[in-house]
Amino acid sequence: VTAPDVVAVSADDPYEVLIGHGLHERIPHLVGAGVRRVAVLHPPTMVEAAARVVHALSEAGIEPVRIDVPDGEAAKTAQVAARCWSVLGSAGFTRSDAVVGLGGGSTTDLAGFVAATWLRGVRLVTVPTSLLAMVDAAVGGKTGINTPEGKNLVGSFYEPAGVICDLDTLVDLPVAELRSGLAEVVKCGFIADPEILTLVETDPAAALDPSGPVLAELVRRAVQVKATVVSADLRESTSVGTEIGREALNYGHTLGHAIEQHEHYRWRHGEAISTGMVFVAELAGRSGLIDADLVERHRSVLSELQLPTTYRADAYEDLRSLMAVDKKTRGATLRFVVLHGLGRPGILAGPEPELLAAAYAAIC
């Protein structure tokens, strides 16, 4: 076991993201001194990993309380959160106890929300086990659950005390989930760290090898991009001039969210934003912001990873309506994160309908 990479996030209470192999044994140390009980929230796919974490906590003299939560989005409900509160209440959790979220982004979002709300906030350690959760969901302090009206409508900003990305867990992650997470990694390449693109282009198969060094470097670089962006804009408020702050992370997401809804969430998040990124690249290319080579680079790098880059021609009107009600839209104006060059994100607000339609036609 080599020393983990460490990415620092400067939040209100700064914390570290550890990236490496064999890191689960560090969880007792990260939950901190003085903690007597730790609730370990995990989905059914993480039963064995949860058992190891529980064992490590017991060995460290901490009382573990395992909370089995449903898989995927089914975990992010008020009912499941209420069940977790009830378990914490029965076990006598106090302010000096802690919550660990072990699983994909849906588990870490739920665990964060439970930690943020129990006694108005107890210590939280997130242990993301999917690539998407490592590079996106577990870093940045957003926690939340869904309501019948929509995704992530209830939640809070709540920073973890630490994040552990144990790359060993990625070996069991289905390859489709790995590809989906890589779309967010590639996004970080376009908005901030082009070396990510070079790494993927040089050896796409290595990018998909969960035990190899290339994926480890991609995770570190993507976490660094997210950490840098959120550290500069903790509450998603900056949007001045070219400094667009956290909004940059929404690259490809405006059309991506619309596709997810249009597909009733049968497409994975990364698959939808993959097509969304090609769309905004076309939009930027047609607006004269980036050249044709950079537009084409989106298609080629995402295709190398077998991520989708096209969508149905007949869905345009539906997608336009869905984009118009996206929660990131301000008033009636459609806003897109676009590139003003490689690694230079900016905003394109209110593009002409003809431009939008032409960019869409280019991805059909």
Q: Which residues are marked as active site?
A: 120, 142, 184, 226, 236, 246, 250, 253, 257, 269
Comparison of 63 and 68: residue with beta carbon closer to ligand NAD: 68
Cα 10 to Cα 319: distance, rounded to the nearest angstrom: 37
**Residue 5 pairs with which residues in a beta bridge?**
19
Contact between 11 and ligand NAD (CB under 6 A)?
A: no
Q: Which of residues 91-120 bind ligand NAD (CB under 6 A)?
A: 103-107, 109
Contact between 245 and ligand NAD (CB under 6 A)?
A: no
Contact between 45 and ligand NAD (CB under 6 A)?
A: yes
Contact between 156 and ligand NAD (CB under 6 A)?
A: no
Single out the segment in contact with ligand NAD by CB under 6 A; choices: 58-66, 77-85, 164-172, 290-298.
164-172
Q: Do residues 166 and 46 lie in contact, with contact meaning Cβ atoms separated by under 8 Å? A: no
* CA distances, 231 to each of 4, 16, 75, 238, 353 (Å): 21, 12, 28, 11, 35
- Quote the least distance from Cβ 146 to ligand NAD, whole Å: 8
Single out the segment in contact with ligand NAD by CB under 6 A; choices: 25-33, 172-180, 259-267, 313-321.
172-180
Query: What single-letter DSSP state applies at residue 133?
Result: I
Comparison of 96 and 231: residue with beta carbon closer to ligand NAD: 231
* CA distances, 17 to each of 195, 226, 322 (Å): 20, 11, 35
Q: Quick one: tokens of 268?
A: 């994975």
How many chain residues bind ligand NAD (CB under 6 A)? Answer: 28
Cα 361 to Cα 160: distance, rounded to the nearest angstrom: 43
Contact between 43 and ligand NAD (CB under 6 A)?
A: yes
Contact between 193 and ligand NAD (CB under 6 A)?
A: no
Contact between 152 and ligand NAD (CB under 6 A)?
A: yes
Torsion of CA 281, 282, 288, 290, to 10 degrees: 30
Contact between 256 and ligand NAD (CB under 6 A)?
A: no
Contact between 260 and ligand NAD (CB under 6 A)?
A: no
CA 218 from centroid of its chain's CA atoms: 14
Contact between 172 and ligand NAD (CB under 6 A)?
A: yes
Contact between 287 and ligand NAD (CB under 6 A)?
A: no
Q: Do residues 95 and 119 lie in contact, with contact meaning Cβ atoms separated by under 8 Å? A: yes
Write the burial class of residue 241 (CB in 10 Å: 0-12 exposed, 13-18 middle, 19+ buried): exposed
Comparison of 103 and 256: residue with beta carbon closer to ligand NAD: 103
C-alpha distance across the termini of the chain, in Å:
47
Interface with ligand NAD by CB under 6 A: which residues? 43, 45, 71-73, 76, 103-107, 109, 129-130, 132-133, 136-137, 140, 142, 151-152, 169-170, 172-173, 177, 269
